[in-house]
């Protein structure tokens, strides 16, 4: 009724051609009163990039496009004012009175005459901040080629000759000299072996190891130590875990509902990472396998486990009864997660910022974002058999698994929650069930050759339970209090349980297929998966799926691209991986070298390890970073080479004791006048406690284990990582949120941690076990000494022994042991 009235009204006034007075009387006061607050050229960044206090700004519109249109009703401005859409309502404080809205409609329909004159000619129409353009961006420091540099000159050549051990040291020394600082003396042998062992294996050395190393007078004793530690399988467990922070490894999803259940095989990806790090798979290959193992010819089946990087990525629950726009938004959120993980994790760039608009600071266009998002819109998660099967069977299996999962979800949903159109729901149950059976039967050829695959698909094809007849809806509608048929418990709720890991012979993986969201059925949105057809995404201003912009071909970031980088190979995952290591190589190398540096020193050279853009920090030692990155590439992207290069340096071998002049001049140790002392991370802390109490199980643990279980004595890296309910001890000790690629861990010191140290069953058990180990010592002095050897790799001082013995006059050995394990020194990394 209302719209019809408006249409007539608008048509009738159209001819009148409202004058400047109309604007001044009806429109301008409203704009000034309700809009300028957020949409003014005087603001540093007007909301939505929209400026309404200039004629040009009004005409231009904002980030969401023009706000005026010939057809007033379809104009963005009127849509916003009429408050009919939930995500586009202006002014935000409340809907305007109807007569004001009518005035706006009349004015727009008349061509929105605007008598204002914009004062300074050539002034920016939109004050929205623009990022760096691509040409300027190509000159950004982080994108420049990396080159090996000559050894820097130092003033005190005599000292330099004595002190330096590796090329790194010359860069550090030069910077220290510039800042009138001196390096610290080398750490003593005991501190060195303690530091290096915790660094490379996450475990303390034994007392015997320390004694042997202290006594070893060979000039290459330290080199041999580093080589021995690098060869230990414990090394991969330590350094693999660092990578898992970047890869936001988790075994489930934040909610783990019907369409985003836990990943029972995610642990195989974790184990692959540990293996690959132990084998020193070159970093370029390491990453390429995680993005595209299935597309690299000749890749051994075992390395397909690497695809868990994408296959076990966090996803959202998509209830397909929701509208196409809602489902598409949730899917684009998932693809955004991948763009972010790859952008920040691999390239140190906040590409995700360009989802709504061109990056406000960095030379990353919104079209760059969608060019990458398309790769992930063309990639579908599914389990993949561990067994070597031909490519065709592989593809068929994954597609069938994906289809069966959804069909089963839909059939059960319609069966259990038919809503208010039960007949229609019942038809759909039949349709989905039939389709499910078809898909399953098409895979029957697996029955004999691969019974495990056949069984797996059969288990996925969960047919809905037959139901009691539906009550007549016409009757149900009016008999409010009549008891309805009991709702069968939906399988969704059962699946919501946080299922454990599985050792069935499958892995979390992905395959190539474009994904579209189909809203043609108004009651049930469909996910349309098309193998062999990658999807180029539309640009989505404001990330708004209901207002798509032009199609963007999948390709690499403009600012890094040398020539045409359009992705041609299926989804483009391999093309992307290759570009990261060709066109993007200098940046990629800088980013990983900086991360490795930070994991060794507890402090990176670039303080923002996942942001090498304009908003990030500049390196403290740019030449060092360049030189080391160039040599890292020249040494075949070998992480073990990089570890040696860093750990053999005099810089790394410095003592970490504080020095008055250093603390005064450079309190945060930017210039590395000493080694950084640190708190242990949760893995090294828990593992060391298990080890010193003689209970650490050194075997790799398959699957994933509950870290709270008293009998779980495996290394922490094998503990369960949940994205919904992170284990208490992990979260107490700053384990990063596994929903997002973590740039670094922030190490906190909190009272709740100390409650764990003082009162937990875990600590008490460690103390009890430690006391058992020293049982054979004849007296308390011997027992205390033995405990010091095991827990701290050293003898107690006379004072410490004194404290122990006087405590033991009234307290028990177990209480004493727990006190010792709760001391600072146990969680300290010198």
Which 408-467 positions form the footprint of other proteins (CB under 8 A)? 417, 419-421, 424-425
Nearer to other proteins, 231 or 758 (CB): 758
Least separation in angstroms between residue 329's CB and other proteins is 8
Choose, by CB under 8 A, the member of 147, 178, 479, 494 that binds other proteins.
Answer: 479
Residue 818 binds other proteins (CB under 8 A) = yes
SS (H, E, C) 802-828: HHHHHHHHHCCHHHHHHHHHCCHHHHE
> Which segment (394-402, 543-551, 582-590, 720-728) binds other proteins by CB under 8 A?
720-728
Q: Does 185 participate in binding other proteins (rule CB under 8 A)?
A: no
The C-alpha atoms of residue 801 and residue 809 are separated, in whole angstroms, by 13
Among 53, 199, 245, 362, binds other proteins (CB under 8 A): 362
152-160, 396-404, 711-719, 819-827 -> range binding other proteins (CB under 8 A): 819-827
Least separation in angstroms between CB 774 and other proteins: 17
C-alpha 462, offset from chain centre: 32
- Return d(Cα 22, Cα 111) in angstroms, integer: 12
In the bound state with other proteins, the residue whose beta carbon lies nearer, of 640 and 674, is: 674
Q: Rule CB under 8 A: choose which of 26, 302, 666, 815 binds other proteins.
A: 815
Cα–Cα separations (whole angstroms), residue 190 to 183, 209, 211, 792, 830: 19, 10, 8, 11, 10
Q: Which stretch binds other proteins (CB under 8 A): 22-30, 167-175, 355-363, 588-596?
A: 355-363
How far, CA to CA in Å, does 677 sit from each of 194, 195, 601, 668, 674?
Answer: 12, 9, 9, 11, 9
Q: Indicate the SS3 state at residue 442.
A: helix
Q: Nearest approach, Cβ of 822 to other proteins (angstroms)?
A: 5
Residues 238-297 close enough to bind other proteins by CB under 8 A: 254-255, 257
Q: Is 765 left (phi over 0), alpha (psi -120 to 50) or beta?
A: alpha
Are 656 and 199 contacting, i.e. CB atoms less than 8 angstroms apart? no
User: 566-595: which residues touch other proteins (CB under 8 A)?
Assistant: none
Contacts of 231 (CB under 8 A, 6+ apart): none
Question: CB of residue 140 vs other proteins: minimum separation in angstroms?
Answer: 14
State the DSSP H helix or E strand holding residue 509, giving kind and residue range, or none if neither.
strand 506-518
We find the least distance from the C-beta atom of residue 453 to other proteins, in angstroms, to be 32
For position 397 contacting other proteins by CB under 8 A, the verdict is no
Of 420 and 776, the one with the shorter C-beta distance to other proteins is 420
Q: At what angle do helices 366-377 and 573-581 cross, to 10 degrees?
A: 130
Q: Could you write out the DSSP letters of every residue in 607-670?
A: S-TT--STTSPPPSSHHHHHHHHHHHHHTTT-HHHHHHHHHTSHHHHB-----HHHHHH-TT-T
For other proteins, the closer CB: 93 or 121 = 93
Greatest extent of the chain over all pairs of C-alpha atoms, in Å: 109
- With CB under 8 A as the contact rule, the residue among 16, 115, 748, 795 that binds other proteins is 748
- Residue 734 touches other proteins, criterion: CB under 8 A: yes
Per-residue DSSP letters for 82-109?
Answer: HT-BTTB-SSTT-PPPHHHHHHHHHHHH
Beta 828-829 vs 526-531: how paired, if at all?
Answer: unpaired
Token pair of 359, please? 């990056």
Piece of the chain touching other proteins by CB under 8 A; list 70-78, 226-234, 532-540, 821-829: 821-829
State the Cα–Cα distance between residues 223 and 759, nearest whole angstrom. Answer: 41
Please report, as residue ranges, which positions from 58 to 117 form the binding site for other proteins (by CB under 8 A). 83, 86-87, 89, 92-95
Q: How far is the CB of 630 from other proteins (least distance, A)?
A: 26
Is the Cβ of residue 776 or residue 824 nearer to other proteins in the bound state? 824
Among 610, 649, 669, 716, indicate the residue that binds other proteins (CB under 8 A). Answer: 610
70: tokens are 């010939």
Minimum Å gap between C-beta 493 and other proteins is 9
Other CB atoms within a 10 A radius of the CB of residue 823 amount to: 13
Q: Residue 533: how many CB atoms within 10 A of its CB?
A: 14
Cβ count near 21 (within 10 Å)? 9
Query: Shortest approach of other proteins to residue 360 CB, angstroms?
Result: 7
Shortest spacing between CB 145 and other proteins, in angstroms: 24
- CB nearer to other proteins: pick between 510 and 757: 757
Return d(Cα 18, Cα 27) in angstroms, integer: 11
Shortest CB 594 distance to other proteins, Å: 17
Alpha-carbon gap, residue 512 to 315, rounded angstroms = 17
Q: Which is nearer to other proteins, 306 or 767 (CB)?
A: 767
CB of 821 to other proteins, least distance (A): 10
From the CB of 617, what's the least distance to other proteins, in Å? 12
Residue 828 burial class via C-beta count within 10 angstroms: exposed 0-12, middle 13-18, buried 19 and up: middle
Given 18, 48, 61, 719, the residue binding other proteins (CB under 8 A): 48
The answer to whether 752 contacts other proteins (rule: CB under 8 A) is yes
Single out the residue of 30, 740, 773, 805 in contact with other proteins (rule: CB under 8 A): 740
Chain-centre distance for alpha carbon 124:
37
Strands (E), 379-505: 379-385
Nearby residues of 589 by Cβ (< 8 Å), 6 or more positions away: 146, 629, 630, 632, 633, 637
- Of 641, 576, 599, residue with least CA distance to 743: 599
Can residue 317 be called a binding residue for other proteins (CB under 8 A)?
yes
Under rule CB under 8 A, residue 478 binds other proteins: yes
Of residues 167, 199, 164, 166, the one with CA closest to residue 183: 164
Closer to other proteins by Cβ: residue 46 or 205: 46
What is residue 443's DSSP assignment? T
Q: How far is the CB of 624 from other proteins (least distance, A)?
A: 25
Which of 158/478 has CB closer to other proteins?
A: 478
Nearer to other proteins, 274 or 425 (CB): 425
Q: Does 799 help bind other proteins (rule: CB under 8 A)?
A: yes
DSSP per residue over 309-341, as a string? HHHT-------TTS-HHHHHHHHHHHHHHHHHI
Question: Prior bond to 202 cis, omega within 30?
Answer: no
Site for other proteins in 132-151 (CB under 8 A): none
Shortest CB 479 distance to other proteins, Å:
7
CB of 535 to other proteins, least distance (A): 22
- Other CB atoms within 10 Å distance of the CB of residue 814: 15
Nearer Cβ to other proteins, position 648 or 803?
Answer: 803
Positions in 297-316 near other proteins (CB under 8 A) = 314, 316
487 makes contact with other proteins (CB under 8 A): yes
Tell me which of 360, 431, 530, 635 binds other proteins, using CB under 8 A.
Answer: 360
8 Å CB contact between 443 and 454:
yes
Instruction: Closer to other proteins by CB, 319 or 623: give it.
Output: 319
In the list 333, 437, 623, 777, the residue contacting other proteins (rule: CB under 8 A) is: 333
Q: Which is nearer to other proteins, 90 or 642 (CB)?
A: 90
Report the nearest approach of other proteins to the CB of residue 683 (Å): 16
Report the candidate in 170, 246, 316 with the shortest Cα–Cα distance to residue 599.
246
Q: Work out whether 372 is an interface residue with other proteins (CB under 8 A).
A: no
To other proteins, the closest distance from the beta carbon of 339 in angstroms equals 12
The residues in 636-695 that bind other proteins, with binding defined as CB under 8 A, are: 657-658, 663, 667, 677-679
Residues 6+ apart with CB under 8 A from 744: 598, 604, 609
To other proteins, the closest distance from the beta carbon of 485 in angstroms equals 9
x/- site string to other proteins, residues 495 to 524, per CB under 8 A?
A: ---------------------------xx-
β-sheet bridge partners, residue 508: 383
């Amino acid at each position: 009724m209302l719209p019809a009235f408006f249409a007539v009204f608008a048509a009738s006034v159209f001819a009148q051609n409202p004058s400047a007075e109309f604007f001044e009387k009806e429109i301008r006061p409203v704009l000034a009163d309700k809009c300028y607050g957020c949409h003014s050229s005087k603001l540093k960044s007007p909301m939505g990039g929209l400026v309404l206090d200039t004629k040009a700004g009004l005409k231009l519109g904002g980030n969401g496009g023009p706000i005026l249109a010939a057809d007033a009703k379809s104009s963005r401005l009127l849509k916003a004012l009429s408050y009919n859409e939930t995500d586009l309502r202006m002014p935000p404080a409340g809907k305007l009175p109807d007569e004001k809205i009518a005035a706006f409609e009349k004015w727009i329909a008349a061509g929105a005459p605007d008598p204002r004159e914009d004062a300074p000619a050539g002034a920016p129409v939109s004050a929205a901040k623009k990022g760096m353009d691509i040409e300027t961006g190509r000159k950004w420091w982080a994108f420049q080629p990396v080159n090996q540099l000559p050894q820097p000159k130092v003033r005190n050549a005599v000292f330099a000759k004595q002190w330096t051990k590796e090329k790194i040291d010359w860069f550090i020394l030069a910077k220290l000299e510039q800042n009138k600082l001196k390096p610290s003396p080398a750490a003593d042998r005991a501190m060195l072996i303690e530091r290096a062992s915790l660094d490379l294996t996450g475990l303390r050395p034994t007392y015997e190891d320390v004694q042997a190393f202290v006594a070893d007078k060979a000039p290459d004793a330290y080199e041999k130590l580093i080589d021995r530690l690098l060869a230990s399988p414990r090394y991969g467990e330590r350094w693999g875990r660092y990578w898992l922070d970047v890869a936001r490894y988790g075994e489930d999803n934040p909610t783990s509902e019907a369409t985003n259940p836990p990943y029972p095989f995610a642990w195989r990806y974790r184990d692959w990472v540990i293996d690959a790090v132990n084998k020193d798979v070159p970093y370029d290959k390491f990453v390429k396998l995680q993005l595209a193992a299935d597309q690299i010819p000749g890749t051994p089946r075992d390395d397909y486990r690497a695809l868990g990087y994408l296959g076990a990525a966090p996803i959202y629950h998509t209830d397909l009864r929701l509208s196409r726009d809602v489902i598409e938004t949730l899917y684009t959120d998932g693809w955004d997660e991948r763009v972010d993980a790859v952008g920040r994790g691999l390239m140190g760039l906040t590409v995700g910022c360009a989802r709504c608009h061109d990056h406000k600071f960095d030379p990353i266009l919104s079209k760059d974002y969608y060019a990458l998002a398309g790769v992930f819109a063309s990639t579908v998660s599914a389990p993949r058999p561990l067994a070597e099967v031909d490519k065709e069977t592989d593809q068929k299996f994954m597609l069938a698994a994906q289809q069966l999962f959804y069909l089963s979800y839909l059939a059960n949903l319609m069966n259990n929650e038919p809503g208010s159109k039960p007949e229609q729901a019942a038809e759909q149950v039949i349709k989905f069930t039939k389709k499910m059976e078809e898909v399953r039967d098409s895979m029957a050829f697996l029955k004999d050759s691969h019974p495990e695959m056949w069984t797996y698909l059969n288990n996925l094809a969960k047919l809905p339970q037959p139901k009691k007849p539906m009550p007549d809806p016409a009757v149900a509608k009016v008999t409010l209090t009549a008891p309805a048929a009991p709702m069968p418990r939906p399988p969704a709720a059962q699946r919501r349980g946080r299922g454990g890991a599985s050792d069935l012979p499958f892995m979390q993986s992905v395959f190539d297929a474009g994904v579209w969201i189909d809203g043609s059925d108004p009651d049930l949105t469909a996910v349309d998966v098309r193998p062999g057809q990658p999807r180029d995404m539309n640009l989505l201003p404001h990330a708004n799926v209901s207002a798509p912009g032009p199609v963007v071909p999948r390709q690499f970031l403009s600012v890094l691209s040398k020539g045409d980088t359009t992705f041609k190979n299926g989804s483009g995952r391999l093309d992307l991986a290759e570009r990261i290591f060709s066109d993007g190589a200098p940046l990629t190398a800088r980013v990983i070298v900086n991360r490795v540096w930070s994991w060794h020193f507890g402090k990176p050279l670039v303080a923002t390890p996942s942001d090498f853009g304009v908003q990030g920090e500049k390196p403290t030692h740019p030449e060092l970073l360049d030189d080391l990155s160039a040599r890292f590439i020249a040494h075949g992207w070998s992480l073990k080479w990089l570890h040696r290069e860093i750990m053999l340096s005099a810089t790394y071998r410095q003592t970490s004791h504080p020095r008055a002049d250093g603390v005064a001049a450079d309190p945060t140790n930017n210039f590395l006048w000493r080694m950084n002392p640190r708190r242990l991370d949760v893995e090294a802390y828990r593992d060391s406690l298990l080890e010193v109490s003689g209970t650490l199980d050194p075997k790799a643990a398959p699957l994933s284990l509950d870290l709270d279980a008293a009998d779980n004595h495996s290394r922490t890296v094998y503990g369960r990582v949940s994205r919904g309910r992170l284990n208490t001890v992990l979260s107490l000790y700053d384990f990063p949120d596994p929903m997002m690629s973590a740039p670094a861990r922030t190490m906190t010191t909190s009272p709740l941690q100390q409650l764990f140290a003082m009162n937990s069953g875990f600590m008490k058990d460690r103390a009890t076990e430690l006391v058992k180990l020293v049982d054979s010592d004849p007296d308390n002095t011997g027992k205390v000494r033995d405990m010091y050897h095991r827990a701290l790799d050293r003898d107690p001082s006379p004072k410490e022994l004194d404290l122990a013995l006087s405590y033991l006059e009234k307290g028990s050995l177990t209480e004493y042991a727990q006190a010792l394990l709760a001391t600072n020194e146990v969680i300290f990394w010198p």
